[in-house]
Structures are given as structure tokens and as C-alpha cells.
Amino acid sequence: MDVATIPAPQDLEELKVRRNLLEDLALKVLYLQGESTLKDLAEKMRLNLQILEEIFQRLRKEALCEVKGLTGSVYRIDSTSQGKTRALELLSLNQYTGPAPVSLSDYVSRIVSQTVMKAAVLPAQLRGALQHLVLDDQTLTQIGTAVVSGTSMFLYGPTGTGKTAIAESLPAIYEDQVWVPFAVEIDGQIITVYDAVVHERIDRKDSPESDQRWVLCRRPRVMAGGELTIEMLDLQFNPATKFYAAPLQMKANNGVLIIDDFGRQRMRPEEMLNRWILPLDRRIDYLTLAGGKKFEVPFDLLVVFATNLDPRELADEAFLRRIHNKIKVGYVTPEQFREISRGVCQRLGVPYDAVAIDQLIDVLVKELKQPLRACYPRDVIYQICWAATYQGKRPRLEPGTVAQACRNYFLPPE
């Protein structure tokens, strides 16, 4: 399918969504909007005007809405007294009044056609996305291989070595776009998928002939850390609005899901591993509605586990086998440390001083007995900038300011 456009359905049969759900949605929207035109209603529900005409005629036949008059050649419509009563009843059962949902079958076929496993990823794209990081060629090759796989990876190693920075940069590798639905209908229930917080919408004017129920976005990036709970991996039913929000992995379909600080969540690692062992293996997830109905959705995402714990202590061999890429991110060499420092100085507008950085390396290794972590240049130079701001001076990288920054940032050796 062409990512440039999705043809708009021309009739109710093409929508493959329950007719009564669409009629109920139209009645709720009309009640909340008040007197409107069919065009206004069609734009709100993101449906073809011809479909709205058919829905209106059915509601009119049931005496739930009526024509109120003409504005030029355009009919104005509104709910009848009976229609308003019915709309209030419907809102008490389900308060969803957004764009019409897509069918589960259309959602599945679209996710499959946009699979992350077939996204074009070239070395130049990888280097461009990670250019602000200092990584050796072997690590870059490992990361590129993992991204091309579109499956899963462990980024593991000591704290402060740049695992989170790498993980957060991965979505920038993808230069294509995907379609994300506002909502999906399953067994008469509505599940919202598009989330402005995690989906970066492509700003463009869509053709009137395109299906407005889909949003063109960059490949999704969803990130969760210590706040992640097992409940967030299942459908989120809102008891107040009485409709569902998609879980994290469904919002991340066709993109990247980052589990940062894996092993430090508000649940045991075994819970997450048991929950995802089948999706990681078969690339299919099973979700359950409140009434107990289970259904399948694609699990089409690159899952990145970033941890400073030993993966062998977090998961058994059966699970580790399903994580196809395991990349250790270790301490940096002195030359890498200098290169990182140059980059930080350039970004912060601080003149680079090689002597001062060599002094910092000596202090870390010889006095503080610290390994060279990728985060130290940034953290120490920030200290220098903050001190200079406080003193009303321009920040300078020199032995005195480096020594003061180290006193502020590091605990003294025992």
C-alpha cells in the first residue's frame, strides 16, 4: 500500500465498522455540537459526506434528528427531543466523541504493510542519528544490525555509559512515515490509539479523497522507565469515559518501544518477561476487553531494553534467546573521552582546552579511582557553566574550574 494516501471508504460496507456504533457516535457528536450541517458532522467524525448522509437518513427515520432549515443550499440539522434523550443515554454508556474508528482488520493489514522489519536503514542514516554520540565502529555495526532486524535488543553495561542516549536516538534513524489510526473498533468497543504525546504528526494538507481517520506520523517512539507497571501493558479502560486507550506496545506499533532502567520497574522483571515472551517470539499480542473477549493485534515494534544490570540476572535463557541482539555499552577510552568533551564544549559554547581535559582524566582515574564514563564530560562541564553563571563570568575550561567542578560533582574517595 502507498504510504502517501489511504483512500476514503465510500459507503458503510467499506468501513467494516458496526453501523449502530457509527449512528450512536453521530448522535452523540450532534448533541454536543448542537445545530450543525452534515459537512460539519462529517469533518468531526472524519467520514465521507456520502456516508454521513446515509447515517443521517437512518437517524431521521427513527425521529432522532431533523432538518432545522437552510443556510444557502446547505441543510442544518439537529437532534430531536427524543434524540437528545437517546444521546444522553449513550454518553452515560460511552463518552467517546472523536473520529470514527477503523476496523480491526483494516488496522492489522495497515500495521503489517508498514512493518518496522522492512524499514530501510542504511549506515549513513545510523551515523546521522547517532552523530552526537561517540561510538566505535563495532558498536555502530551492532546497533545497525539490531535496528534492521526490527525485533529486540538489550543495551546493557555500567551506569553512565550512554545506553539511554543511544536508545532515545534510535527512532531518528527512520526517515519514513506510517499511518496511525485515531481509534480502532473491536466487538463494539472503541480503543484510542493516536496519542499526541508519543506520535509525531506530519504536518501536511491531506487530500479530501483520503481516509481522515488515519494520521500520518513519523515512526512512533514510546519510552517507559521506572514508572512502568504490568497494567500499562494491557488495555487501559477509563471508568469515567467508558472507552479504552491502547497499551504502550500497541501505540508503539511500527516503531520503537524503549524500556529504560529495565529491572527497576514497579514490577518484577519476570512479570514483564512472562507477559511478552509470546509476542517477542511470534510478533502477535493478545489483549482482553473488560467482558473477557480476547483478540490479536500485531506486535510490530523494535523493543529496546536498556539496563545497567546483568541480563543473565534479569531473565532466563528462554527469554534471552528471544532478545535477538545483545549490545554491551562499556566505558570509553581516553581518546573517546576527549572527543566527547570537544562535542560538549562546542554545544555549550565553552572553549575547549586539551590540558584541562587531560587533567580531568588524571583526576578521575588516579585520584577518584573512577572509570571513564561517557556522561562525565557533560556533567563536569555543566558544573563549570553553572558556577560561571553564578559568578557572572564566562565559562572557561581550565585546571581551576575543572577541580572545583569535580569537588561539586564527585564524592571524595573512601
Parallel, antiparallel, or unpaired: how do β-strands 284-288 and 294-298 relate? antiparallel
% residues pLDDT > 90 (the chain): 78
The sign one gets for the Cα dihedral 267, 273, 279, 283 is: positive
pLDDT at 2 over 50: no
The average pLDDT across 136-150 equals 94
Residue 7 pLDDT exceeds 80? yes
d(CA 155, CA 326) in angstroms, rounded, equals 6
Q: Is the backbone of residue 170 left (phi > 0), alpha (psi -120 to 50) or beta?
A: alpha
Query: Which pLDDT score is estimated for 291?
Result: 85
CB neighbours (10 Å) of residue 26? 28
Is the Cβ–Cβ distance between 372 and 365 less than 8 Å?
Answer: yes
Q: Where are the domains of the chain?
A: 18-99, 106-328, 334-409
| pLDDT value at residue 315 | 78
Within 13 Å and on the Cβ side, how many CA atoms surround 164? Answer: 13
Q: For residues 330 and 136, is the Cβ–Cβ distance under 8 A?
A: no
Contact yes or no for 356/399 (Cβ under 8 A): yes
pLDDT cut 70: percent of the chain above it: 98
The CATH number of the domain covering residues in 106-328? 3.40.50.300
3-state DSSP call for residue 345?
helix
- pLDDT for 3: 61
Poorest-confidence range of 34-43, 119-128, 214-223, 269-278?
269-278
CA angle 188, 113, 296 (to 5 degrees): 40
Task: Tell me whether the CATH fold assigned to 106-328 matches the one assigned to 334-409.
Answer: no
Asked which of 206-210, 321-325, 333-337, 387-391 is least confident by mean pLDDT, the reply is 206-210
- pLDDT per residue as tens digits for the range 185-196: 999 999 999 999
Q: Which residue has the higher pLDDT, 272 or 94?
A: 94
Contact between 219 and 171 under an 8 Å Cβ cutoff? The reply is: yes
- Transcribe 229-273 into DSSP letters: -GGGGS-EE-TTT--EE--HHHHTTTEEEEETTTT-SSS-HHHHH
CB 293 within 8 A of CB 248: no
Burial of 283 from C-beta contacts in 10 A (0-12 / 13-18 / 19+) = middle
In this prediction, residue 206 carries a pLDDT of: 67
403: which residues sit within 8 A by CB, 6+ positions away? 359, 363
SS (H, E, C) 365-386: HHHCCCCCCCCHHHHHHHHHHH
Given a cut of 70, whether residue 1 has pLDDT beyond it is no
What pLDDT score was predicted for residue 403? 93
d(CA 192, CA 213): 11
Mean pLDDT, range 221-238, rounded to an integer: 89
Residues in contact with 366: Cβ distance below 8 Å, sequence separation at least 6, in sequence order: none
Q: Which fold has domain 334-409?
A: Helicase, Ruva Protein; domain 3 (1.10.8)
Mean pLDDT in residue range 78-93: 96
- Give residue 372's identity as a one-letter amino acid code: L
Q: What is the DSSP string of 267-322?
A: S-HHHHHHHHHHHHHHSEEEEE-TTS-EEEEE--EEEEEEESS-HHHHS-HHHHHH
Mean pLDDT over each residue of the chain, to the nearest integer: 92
User: Tell me: the pLDDT tens digits for 241-260?
Assistant: 999 999 999 999 999 999 99
Q: Between these two residues, 320 and 215, which has the higher pLDDT value?
A: 215
Selection from 411, 340, 401, 402 nearest residue 369 by Cα? 411
Mean pLDDT, residues 82-91: 96
Highest mean pLDDT pick, 64-78, 88-102, 228-242: 88-102
pLDDT digits (tens, 9 = 90+) for 171-216: 999 989 999 999 999 999 999 999 999 999 998 776 778 999 999 9
Predicted confidence (pLDDT) at residue 70 exceeds the cutoff of 80? no
Residue 78 has pLDDT above 60, yes or no: yes
Check pLDDT > 90 for residue 74.
no
Residue 274: what pLDDT?
82
| Distance, CA of 152 to CA of 146 (rounded, Å) | 7
- Domain 18-99 part of CATH 1.10.150.240: no
Residues 6+ apart with CB under 8 A from 250: 191, 193, 285, 287, 297
| Inter-residue contact 219 to 256 (CB < 8 Å) | yes
Provide the 8-state DSSP code for 115.
-
- What pLDDT is attached to residue 84? 96
pLDDT in tens, 11-39: 999 999 999 999 999 999 999 999 999 99
Examine the pLDDT at 67 and tell me if it is beyond 50.
yes
